[in-house]
Amino acid sequence: MPTYHELTGDDWSRRMADWQAWWAGALDRPLITIEAYDPPDDGPNWNEIDDFITRFPLETPVDDVLDFFQARLDAIHFYGDAIPKWWPNFGAGIMAGFLGARVSYSTRTTWFFPTHSGPPAALEPRYDPDNVWWQRVQAITRRAVERWQGRVVVAFTDLGGNLDILASLRGTQQLLLDLYDAPDEVERLTCTLTGLWLRYYDELYAILSPAQPGTAAWAPPWNPGRGYMLQSDFSYMIAPRMFDRYVLPDLEACCTAMDYAFYHMDGKGQIPHLDRLLSLPRLRGIQWQPGAGAPLADGWLDLLARIRDGGKLCQVYVTREGARTILRELGGAGFLLDIREDDRMITPAQAEAFLDSIASLN
């Protein structure tokens, strides 16, 4: 039952070699990632405790935060192709906080409130090295890298996507109006945000890359070098012509800046943009997240086949039975299957039994 303490150098070498083969399209099976946990009779139940880093006030000492997550890491067993990872989660799109949006949080949710109520022409997002949230992200990322010394891959915080960040700075409803009332200003702002996004990425990469093997973001993929799970959840609400104008240039710039770019396609409202995503030569893969209330990923076999047949890798979250369905119907090559049940980790015994059960399907 391998915790991160128990992984040997050979374990790391085997896993990273298989990941590199997968990225190259040379692995004839899926990658399977499982984080397993056996709830104790007493003590913390990590399936029930809110483990979001935003539960800690800003004044909490960094080492106290990391001590909390140390206990969680010590309890997790990494099966299949899972590489031990810790993600400093300040909420989806914390870059809005770096740029002045007010940040608030509750259980498992971070909220951003605009502080600019004027016309979009008056909004000038600027890099602020002294912003309290940016300082906090850097401090925790730097100390985590020092603590785990490459035995755990410290991930990028969730910077967000350009339109998502702009929606936090303007308000979602106001940004929808801006798309019609001030399209040129929206284009100016999205271009500005892309440049800032790349600056924040580069500065975090400079902290992460010297001290650990590869990189990761909030999602399961491990990257041998510069990579990220790009996103534009706001795109659920816009037509392809707006996607082409405001989102594609951002994705192209980010893909150019890295070698292992993925895209988080969240919900059926993003399916109209799939052909555009498949057309991006440097976009390596697509994560399909069906969204709340929709069938799970194994209920979208035609869409998964379309992604893979379009030349992209594909990552999904699935139950054990869902993974078996995908393996039977589509085969495994090109897929990354992250196994969980109702958004909960399975137990080590369940993980071992599942891996044994799919040996003949790979």
Compute the average pLDDT of residues 214-230.
Answer: 97
DSSP strand pairing (77-80 vs 85-86): unpaired
- Domains of the chain, CATH where assigned: 38-75+83-219+225-258 (3.20.20.210)
Judged against a pLDDT cut of 70, whether residue 50 lies above it is answered with no
% residues pLDDT > 70 (the chain): 96
Is 161 in contact with 233 (CB distance < 8 Å)?
Answer: yes
pLDDT tens-place string over residues 20-31: 999 999 999 999
Residue of higher predicted confidence among 55 and 4:
4
- Closest by alpha carbon to 4, among 210, 212, 158? 212
Compute the average pLDDT of residues 336-357.
Answer: 93
| Rounded distance between C-alpha atoms, residue 49 and residue 17, angstroms | 34
| Rounded distance between C-alpha atoms, residue 59 and residue 65, angstroms | 10
Beta-bridged to residue 85, according to DSSP, are: 153
| Rounded distance between C-alpha atoms, residue 138 and residue 27, angstroms | 35
| Rounded distance between C-alpha atoms, residue 273 and residue 240, angstroms | 6
Is 326 in contact with 318 (CB distance < 8 Å)?
Answer: yes
Burial of 210 (0-12, 13-18, 19+ CB in 10 A): exposed
Beta-bridged to residue 287, according to DSSP, are: 264, 315
* Residue 281: per-residue pLDDT: 97
* Residue 49: per-residue pLDDT: 66
Of 86-90, 198-202, 265-269, 343-347, least confident by mean pLDDT is: 343-347
| Rounded distance between C-alpha atoms, residue 179 and residue 135, angstroms | 32
- Sign of torsion, CA 298 299 302 307? negative
Question: In the structure, what pLDDT confidence band is assigned to residue 43 with cuts at 50, 70 and 90?
Answer: low
Other C-beta atoms closer than 10 Å to the C-beta of 272 total 14
**Structure tokens that stand for 344 in this block:** 């909960």
- Closest by alpha carbon to 283, among 214, 217, 227? 227
Judged against a pLDDT cut of 60, whether residue 1 lies above it is answered with no
- Closest by alpha carbon to 23, among 211, 253, 155, 214? 214
Is 108 in contact with 91 (CB distance < 8 Å)?
Answer: no
pLDDT tens-place string over residues 56-108: 888 999 999 999 999 889 999 999 999 999 999 998 999 999 999 999 877 66
Task: Encode burial over 19-51: b for 16+ CB neighbours within 10 A, e otherwise.
Answer: beebbeeebebbbbbbbbbeeeeeeeebeeeee
Of 122-126, 187-191, 220-224, 358-362, least confident by mean pLDDT is: 358-362
The torsion angles phi and psi of 283, rounded to 5 degrees, stand at -80, 120
CA triple 54-125-234, angle to 5 deg: 65
pLDDT tens-place string over residues 226-283: 999 999 999 999 999 999 999 999 999 999 999 999 999 999 999 999 999 999 999 9
Other C-beta atoms closer than 10 Å to the C-beta of 67 total 11
In 3-state terms, what secondary structure has residue 315? strand
